[in-house]
Chain A
Amino acid sequence: MSESGMNNSNPVTLSAYIEGIGLLGPSFNDWPSSQLLLTGKQPYEPSKTVLPPPMLLPAPERRRSGDIIKLSLAIMLEAINAAQLDAASLPSVFTLSNGDGYNCHAINEMLASDDRQISPTRFHNSVHNAASGYCSIATGAMTPSSVLCAHDASFGAGLLEAMSQVSIDQTRCVLVAADTNYPEPMYSVRKIYDSLGIALVLAPEPSPQTLAKITLSITDAIADQLPDTTLEAIRLAIPAARGLPLLAAIAMGKPTSVVLDYLDDSRLALKVEPTESQIC
């Protein structure tokens, strides 16, 4: 969509430079190999998301970590390593539409039974900021961490928060948008069928690591879809995947505009300017 076609209901814009990307999801094993899938240069064939063990966590925490923690830590580290930064130095924004669905199911099942003695690990894994907490323990980051939820608008809410931090506090930050699946019976009311996460390192100034400059405004234009029907189904099913059109635009390697899904009555318009070296 051309920029002139956007009906900008709010003229304020925010800018940031993307220095690192992390991506895991169905058939997405990391950012470098996923670019061919997102640009259609390699056919997309779905396969279940593979989550690596969280080796950076101390053994007790590693044993206690569920999928949302494994996913968040993996994509966060991929993005930060690509940006060649020290993870302990970066403020973070976590945006999760659910949290750990299996843990939530297990707690509710126990509380409905005669034995309500839920375990301490189950309880502390139930907080929405469990991923943020475990990741700060893994990396030693004592920096601020915002932990957000906006249901299906969670990716957009996280991007807005992260870009506000970059603009106003003039700091780098890492955005971690992640979702994992629910078991039944919750699945019937929340049909997230697999894990997907996107992490972005955002900076206020360009650097040798800059992959793209993005400029954001709020719009009432409709969200862009992904051309591949299977990918489009993932975009709609997993809230964190609402960020995939941005990654596809970066992978295309040429200046473009993209509209990301956000709340019912507003979307995020992004001008995407990949750096020369990224054009493949």
Chain B
Amino acid sequence: MKPLLLSHFTVTSAIGRGVQQTLASMREQRSGLTPCNFDTVDLPTFIGEVPAVDKTNMLAGLEAFDCRNNRLAQLGLEQDGFAEAVKAAVAKYGASRIGVFMGTSTSGILQTELAYRRLDPITGALPPDFVYDKTQNTFSVADFTRQYFGLKGPAVAISSACSSSAKVFGSARRMIETGLIDAAVVGGVDTLCLTTLYGFNSLGLLSKQVCRPFDSGRDGISVGEAAAFALLERVPDSLENDAVLLLGIGESSDAYHMSSPHPEGLGAKMAMEGALKMAGLEAADIDYINLHGTATQSNDTAESKAVQAVFGSNTPCSSTKGATGHTLGAAGGVEAVISALALQHDLMPAGLNTRGLDPALGLNYLLENREQKVSRVLSNSFGFGGTNCSLVFGRAN
């Protein structure tokens, strides 16, 4: 592929609002996970909640989109000058030449969960203030993002569970290469809701402690929420040294099971190999791997087998879900931005909460931050239904 420039990016999660706070949390090895007190949830678990999401008022004219997911989307868009960067791109390219590709798994389902508590006791009807298409529908966050900027190019939500906001890069890349658009707003937004908390609990995949990726005692995920955005453009003639480029994307399916990964990590291996091939790189060219690393027994085992098959056991790697929680459909976007920060600041972040590495996993898993030159990063995102996506990012110099 022709590399693409991440000309601007931002992330808001439990470890910070915007990249400066996120970077500071990473440097301090601070986790954002706290005991769950979300809504009426009565599960003994930890969550990665973004503070004050519900204090965000929707922009005038966009009130119909009001729900926790779009509130977090708006909060995220307004960090790091991202909104101004998109507006500058509109002035440069025109509103119809910018596409929107947003990943989400649950969109505004919380709004529907809340509405079902208020069904009319006689008729069973939904409350009249419930707006399905602008809140619950999976497209909602992409529609919101498009309308926030007045964009008129192609727009779509990508919803392949936890690979969603990694796969947005693939769709945006193809659409830019067709020439239909010049730039793309990509990203992912997912917010806390009862469906995922009770759903993962029913599968026995929710940890009662803070999640401990790659630990011998790992026993499940901590659910988090986040908004991550990037502006993708063609690479201009001259670049800053610390500019971050998207170099390769690999996608695959496990064809194995709806909620368990292929036990040998075969689909994950195919995704990583595909990303390296598209980037024209060898495994040895990757300095750091941001693992999917959910902290379930089976996911971490399958991923370690796949990473070993492609990279061997020496490449430094970690999962940042011990800090942010598993932000589901936003995870790929969050970890793309963390990868970009790793490249710009030569920082390989430690995996948090991991007290005793599982020796059976056999990877060079970082328990402390490592500061050294980082030129290329691979980021993994694997989801329910066996959907896999790996991204390769690199520094321009």
Contacts and interface: CB of A to CB of B under 8 A. Distances in A.
B387 A133 contact: yes
The 4 lowest CB-CB distance pairs between A and B, nearest first, are A133-B385, A123-B199, A144-B251, A128-B159
A97 to B, nearest CB: 8
Given A12-B178, A186-B126, A145 B202 contact: no
Contacts of B385: 124, 127, 129-130, 132-134, 136
Interface in B281-338: none
A148 interface: yes
Interface stretch (A40-48, A75-83, A161-169): A161-169
Interface stretch (A113-121, A200-208, A253-261): A113-121
B167 interface: yes
A188 interface: yes
Contacts of A147: 158-160, 387
Specify which of A97, A109, A125, A146 lies most central, judged by the most chain B CB atoms within 10 Å of its CB. A146
Contact of B258 (A12, A124, A146, A218): A124
Contacts of A119: 202
A149 B116 contact: no
A124 B259 contact: yes
B359 interface: no
Interface string B132-170: 110001111011000000001011111111000001001
A115 to B, nearest CB: 10
A16 B117 CA distance: 48
Nearest to B388: A144
A111 B198 CA distance: 8
Contacts of A88: 255
Interface of A: 9-10, 12, 14, 61, 64, 88, 97-99, 104, 107-109, 111-112, 116-120, 122-130, 132-134, 136-137, 139-151, 153-154, 157, 160-161, 164-165, 167-169, 184-186, 188-190, 218, 263, 265-266
B61 to A, nearest CB: 14
Given A123-B202, A146-B158, A185-B126, A129 B254 contact: no
A117 B156 contact: no
Given A161-B156, A186-B126, A133 B132 contact: no
A142 B253 contact: yes
A97 B126 CA distance: 20
Contact of A266 (B96, B156, B253): B96
A126 B109 CA distance: 11
A62 B8 CA distance: 45
Contacts of B195: 107, 111, 118, 123, 126
Contact of B133 (A151, A185, A266): A151
Given A108-B116, A112-B117, A126-B199, A148 B157 contact: yes
11 contacts: A10-B180, A14-B178, A122-B202, A139-B255, A142-B266, A146-B158, A160-B156, A160-B180, A189-B126, A263-B155, A266-B152
A184 B178 contact: no
B154 A141 contact: no
Contacts of B257: 137
Contact of B252 (A99, A111, A144, A167): A144
B125 interface: yes
Contact of A137 (B126, B160, B256, B383): B256
Interface of B: 96-97, 105, 109, 112-113, 116-117, 119, 124-126, 130-133, 137-140, 142-143, 152, 154-161, 167, 170-171, 173-175, 177-180, 194-195, 198-200, 202-203, 251-259, 266-267, 270, 383-387
Specify which of A14, A123, A169 lies most central, judged by the most chain B CB atoms within 10 Å of its CB. A123
Nearest to B204: A120
Contact of B253 (A126, A143, A161, A188): A143
B126 A130 contact: no
Given A120-B202, A145-B253, A147-B158, A127 B105 contact: yes
A41 B314 CA distance: 67
A145 B194 CA distance: 27
B197 to A, nearest CB: 9
A168 B138 CA distance: 26
B178 A164 contact: yes
B2 to A, nearest CB: 10
A167 B387 CA distance: 23
A128 B180 contact: no
Given A111-B195, A137-B257, A185-B125, A168 B177 contact: yes
A19 to B, nearest CB: 20
B270 to A, nearest CB: 6
